[in-house]
C-alpha cells in the first residue's frame, strides 16, 4: 500500500511537485542513509535481539520500512520495533496502514508536531533515521521550544542553543540526540538528511554554532556525506547525510569523516519535479564502502574534531580625531539629538561660543580642544551635561590618522568602533601567537579586546564551530593561458567585424 501511495504521489508530482517532497523521501536516498547508519552494527543485530527504529518526521513511513527491510536482509532472528511521529494527517494514515500490512504494531506511530508535542518523550532508541523539512521556519512552535530551552536547559532537548527561527533543521537533530541510549547500554546511531545551512550558518556564539560545538566536542558526529544536487522532488539544493553516534569505534573517536559523493549521480530518463538524478545501487555501495573503510582518499577526508573550531577575537585600533569649529562642522551640531532637545536660545549660545574660537585652527589633541571648548562655553554661560558635551565634540570631530590617540580617564587608548575588526583563530593555536604573526605586522597599533571571552571556558575569544565542507574538497583549476583567451577574443571580434561589413555592403 505504501508503494502504491508513493507511485500516486510520483504521478501527481509531475503537475504538483511543490508539495511532493513533504510526503516522502526518494527511496535511493532512504536506502543510502539507512545503509550508512546500520553499516558495521553487527553487535546490535545479533539473533534474538530487539532493535528500535525511530523517525520524528515519519511521512509515509519510508525510513521505518527501509530500516526494517535492511535488518531482515542482513540478519536473522532480530525483532524490529518501529516508532515514529508525523505532522501531516494523510501521511500519518498511510504510514499506519503500511505498518499494519507489514505486521508491525501501530501503537508507536503518533500524530502531531514533534518539536512542540513529543509524544514519545520518555523513549530512547537504537537507530534514528530522518529527513526533516529543509529550511522551514519554526515560528508556530517558537514559544514552546524557547520555553523548553530556557526552563529545562540541558535536561531538555534544546540545551546547547536555538537556531534562527527561519530554519528548524538543527532542532530536529537535537531532538534525535536527546533520544540516544546511554553509551554503556550500546548507544545509538542517527542518520539524518540536512541541507547545507546547518554546516556553517551562524557565527561564533550563535545558536547554530553552539549546537555544532556541542555535537563535535561531545564526539557525536561520525561522518557527513555530500549528496549530488537535484535529488529531491521539490528542491534541487545541495544536501548532506549526517551520521551520528555516541558509541564510536575506537578508530573513529575524536575524528570526523567527510565524504564527497556529489559525483555519484545517474541522470533520470524523465525528471520528476526537481528530481533529475538518482544514486544507483553500485554508487550507493561505493559510498558505503568509502565510509566503512574509513581512510583518506581524494573523496574521503578525516579530521580531528578541533579542526572545525575557532576563536573569534575582537581586534581594536585606537581612535584618532581632529577637531575644528569650521562652518561645515558647526552645521552638524543641529543633527545631534542631545542638542536638539535643548532650547533654541541655548543652541544659539553654543554656536556663538564655537565661533568665538575661530574657524581656522585644527586641534589634533582631544583633551586640549575640550579644554579650550569648555572655556569658550563658560564665557557664553553655556553649561552642558556629559551627553550634550559628547554630542558637541562628535559634531566637531573627524577621523585623522595624523592626530594623537584619544585616551580615557585612565590614560588607556580608546578603540575606534569604525575600525573594529574580527579574526577567526584556529582552536589549536594561541590567539596571541596568531595576532603577533597575522595582525601586528600590518597594524602595529592594534590590540586584542581581552574583555570578549567565551562564556564556557573563560578564555579570550568566543569559540565557534563550522564545517566548511566544500573548502576541504575544492580543487583549483588554473585559468587558460592568456594566448588562448586572446585567440578566442580575436576570432570573436573578427567574426563581428565580418558581420558588420556584410550589413554595410
The whole-number average pLDDT for the span 181-196 is: 94
- What is the chain's length? 505
Distance CA 423, CA 444 (A): 16
Q: What is the pLDDT of residue 74?
A: 86
Mean pLDDT of 342-368: 91
Neighbours of 405 (CB within 10 A): 16
What global pTM score does this model have? 0.85
DSSP string covering 313-362, please? EEEE-B-BEEE---HHHHTTGGG-HHHHTS-HHHHHHHHHHHHTT-SS--
**What's the pLDDT at 24?**
62
Terminal-residue alpha carbon distance, the chain: 72
Residue 272 in this model has a pLDDT that exceeds 80: no
pLDDT at 16: 43
Q: Where does the pLDDT of residue 398 fall: very low under 50, low under 70, confident under 90, or very high at 90 and above? A: very high
Distance from C-alpha of 34 to C-alpha of 64, rounded to nearest angstrom? 9
Confidence of residue 391 (pLDDT cuts 50, 70, 90): very high
Return the pLDDT at 14.
46
Q: Which of 75-89, 266-280, 297-311 has the lowest mean pLDDT?
A: 266-280
* Residue bearing the bigger pLDDT, 300 or 46: 300
Nearest-angstrom CA–CA distance, 245 and 218: 10
Give the Cα separation of 153 and 147 in Å (integer).
9
Give me the phi and psi of 363, to 5 degrees please: -100, 135
Lowest mean pLDDT among 203-207, 229-233, 332-336: 229-233
Contact 275, 385 (CB under 8 A): no
**pLDDT tens track for 201-229:** 999 999 999 999 999 999 999 999 999 99
**Confidence check: pLDDT of 470 > 80:** yes
Give the chain's mean pLDDT. Answer: 91
What pLDDT was estimated at residue 15?
47
Looking at residue 233, what is its pLDDT?
Answer: 76
Q: What pLDDT is recorded for position 99? A: 86
260-266 CB contacts, 8 Å cutoff, 24+ apart:
260/226, 260/299, 260/300, 260/473, 261/225, 261/226, 261/227, 261/228, 261/287, 261/290, 261/299, 262/226, 262/227, 262/228, 262/229, 262/238, 263/228, 264/228, 265/228, 265/230, 265/231
Position 76 confidence tier, pLDDT thresholds 50, 70, 90: confident
> Is pLDDT above 60 for 170?
yes
Q: Given the DSSP bridges, would you call strands 50-55 and 127-130 parallel, antiparallel or unpaired? A: parallel
**Mean of pLDDT values over 41-66:** 89
- pLDDT of 401 higher than 70: yes
| pLDDT of 463 over the 70 cut | yes
**pLDDT tens string 309-323:** 999 999 999 999 999
DSSP at 415:
B
Q: Is residue 110 predicted with pLDDT exceeding 50? A: yes
Calculate ∠ Cα 459-462-467, nearest 5°.
125
Amino acid at each position: 500500500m505504501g508503494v502504491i501511495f508513493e507511485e500516486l504521489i510520483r504521478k501527481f508530482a509531475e503537475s504538483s511537485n511543490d508539495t511532493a517532497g513533504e510526503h516522502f523521501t526518494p527511496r535511493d536516498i532512504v536506502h543510502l542513509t539507512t545503509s550508512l547508519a546500520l553499516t558495521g552494527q553487527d553487535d546490535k543485530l545479533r539473533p534474538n535481539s530487539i532493535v528500535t527504529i525511530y523517525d520524528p518526521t515519519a511521512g509515509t513511513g519510508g525510513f521505518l520500512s527501509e530500516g526494517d527491510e535492511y535488518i531482515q536482509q542482513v540478519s536473522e532472528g532480530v525483532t524490529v520495533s518501529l516508532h515514529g511521529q508525523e505532522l501531516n494527517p494523510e501521511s500519518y494514515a498511510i504510514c499506519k496502514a503500511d505498518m499494519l500490512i507489514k505486521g508491525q504494531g501501530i501503537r508507536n506511530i503518533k500524530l502531531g508536531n514533534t518539536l512542540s508535542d513529543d509524544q514519545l518523550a520518555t523513549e530512547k532508541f537504537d537507530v534514528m533515521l530522518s529527513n526533516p523539512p529543509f529550511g522551514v521556519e519554526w515560528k508556530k512552535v517558537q514559544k514552546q521550544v524557547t520555553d523548553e530551552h530556557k526552563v529545562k536547559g540541558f535536561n531538555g532537548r534544546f540545551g546547547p542553543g536555538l537556531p534562527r527561527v527561519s530554519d528548524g533543521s538543527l532542532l530536529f537533530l537535537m531532538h534525535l540526540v536527546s533520544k540516544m541510549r546511554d553509551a554503556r547500554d550500546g548507544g545509538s546511531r542517527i542518520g539524518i538528511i540536512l541541507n547545507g545551512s546547518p554546516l556553517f550558518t551562524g557565527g561564533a556564539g550563535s545558536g547554530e554554532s553552539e549546537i555544532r560545538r556541542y555535537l563535535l566536542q561531545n564526539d557525536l558526529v561520525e561522518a557527513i556525506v555530500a549528496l549530488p544536487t537535484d535529488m529531491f522532488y521539490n528542491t534541487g539544493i545541495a544536501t548532506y547525510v549526517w551520521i551520528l553516534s555516541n558509541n564510536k569505534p575506537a578508530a573513529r573517536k575524536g575524528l570526523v569523516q567527510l565524504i564527497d559523493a556529489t559525483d555519484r549521480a545517474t541522470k533520470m530518463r524523465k525528471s520528476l519535479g526537481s528530481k533529475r538524478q538518482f544514486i544507483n545501487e553500485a554508487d550507493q555501495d561505493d559510498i558505503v564502502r568509502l565510509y566503512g573503510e574509513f581512510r583518506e582518499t581524494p573523496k574521503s577526508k578525516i579530521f580531528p574534531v578541533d579542526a572545525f573550531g575557532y576563536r573569534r577575537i575582537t581586534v581594536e585600533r585606537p581612535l584618532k580625531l581632529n577637531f575644528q569649529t569650521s562652518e561645515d562642522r558647526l552645521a552638524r551640531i543641529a543633527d545631534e539629538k542631545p542638542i536638539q532637545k535643548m532650547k533654541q536660545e541655548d543652541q544659539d549660545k553654543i554656536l556663538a561660543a564655537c565661533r568665538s574660537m575661530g574657524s581656522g585652527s585644527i586641534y589634533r589633541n582631544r583633551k586640549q580642544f575640550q579644554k579650550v571648548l569648555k572655556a569658550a562655553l563658560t564665557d557664553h554661560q553655556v553649561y552642558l551635561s556629559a551627553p550634550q558635551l559628547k554630542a558637541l565634540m562628535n559634531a566637531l570631530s573627524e577621523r585623522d590618522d595624523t592626530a594623537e590617540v584619544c585616551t580615557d580617564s585612565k590614560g588607556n587608548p580608546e578603540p575606534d568602533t569604525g575600525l573594529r575588526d574580527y579574526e577567526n583563530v584556529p582552536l589549536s593555536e594561541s590567539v596571541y601567537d596568531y595576532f603577533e604573526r597575522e595582525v601586528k605586522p600590518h597594524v602595529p597599533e592594534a590590540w586584542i579586546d581581552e574583555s570578549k571571552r567565551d562564556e564556557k571556558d573563560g578564555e579570550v575569544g568566543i569559540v565557534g564551530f563550522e564545517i566548511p565542507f566544500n573548502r576541504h574538497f575544492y580543487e583549483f583549476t588554473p585559468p587558460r593561458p592568456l594566448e588562448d583567451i586572446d585567440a578566442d577574443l580575436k576570432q570573436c571580434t573578427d567574426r563581428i567585424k565580418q558581420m558588420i561589413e556584410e550589413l554595410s555592403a
